A and B are shown apart, each in its own frame.
Chain A
Amino acid sequence: MSDQSYPLELTDSDIPMVRFANVTKNYGPLTVLDSLDLDIAPHEMVSIIGPSGSGKTTVLRMLMTLETINDGVIYVDGQPLTHMPRNGKLVPADESHMRKQRMNVGMVFQHFNLFPHMTALENCMEAPVQVLGLSKAEARERSVELLKMVGLEDKMGQHPARLSGGQQQRVAIARALAMRPKVMLLDEVTSALDPEVIGEVLNVIRYLNSEYQLTMLMVTHQMGFAKEISDRVCFFYAGKIAEQGSPEKLFGDPQNERTKQFLHAVLEAT
């Protein structure tokens, strides 16, 4: 950690739900994220776009504590996630601190990562029972409600192998929601799907965005969807935010040369 001192907790008048403060991530000699500063307000929907290898998925993986960081601090809901206070200073978080702070964050993966040996319902009930200590009846009630919300009440007893990709991803969204996170991370959630089922997953995300008090961070290649749903779009290039702004601004009037090139190439392809 550099000499720069980081606050033990955030006390701004309007605390961001997520703050990346000077966060750097290296894989050996390769710098994937370079001194990232990014605040995400409560209930904000932020899309992250950019070419592959630009570090956009790494942003989500660090926030889910699937990756460690090499410099800087990540705060969630005002509290440090990657670090913990000790003797008036921040030190790297231990497992129990991370477990506590991680409760605020949920994630949906590109490849669903459902538990194949459990039914859709069991997938959703597992963590509420095992982690939150809910009774089976409470967890079932919560899970059934969520599976209804994603339109899968008639598939609750099915194992993932019997479900289509779109259905599996909707189960994965319900599973993440069952933990009632404040921050929801969506990592290329439609990239592994057949084109005809992408719509059903996007509809669920639209519904989440309008009906749930969630802060969402979404890595996506669906430019049209990002434009429609986001409060803000960040364009990543070479481990940095090259440009960010409202979707109208970023898609309609990009300033950065890299953004223009990227959008041109992406729109060409579709």
Chain B
Amino acid sequence: MQKHTHAPKESLCLNYTVRAEDVERGGMISSAIKTAIKKFGLAEPVARRVGIIAFEGEMNLIVYSNDGGTIRVCADAKQIEITVKDTGPGIEDIDLALTPGYSTAPSWATDLGFGAGMGLHNMEKNADRFEIESRLDEGTTIKCWVDRRTDDSN
């Protein structure tokens, strides 16, 4: 009988917790994600897209979530999957939230240059596949997939 051996699949998974209203640390997680996936072997153009998705997800958790949330990034030979999850308040009208320029950000956030109403749009634009699921009072989960096909290092 022929024995099949499979080399272990090269993959990377990163998990982070983001606190609500922790503006001071805002962007630190997405910077760390970009650095880590570049070290994992992704070229700058792909790492840039993942970094932008992670940054917008991170800032959404900081500005809008009730109790913060989590960011999970998993990369393998084919793609990078980014999952941003919180437990509320949930989005009332997803189509409206995805419209560039629409924002419900509080003034403390807009004073700092956040809440331009471009966050979800930027996530969708930089992803090859984008899914958003939200229930009022239960929370929001956003999943983005970025293909490595444009990655020169492959």
Co-complex (A, B): no
- Seen from chain A, the residues whose Cβ lies within 8 Å of a Cβ on chain B are none
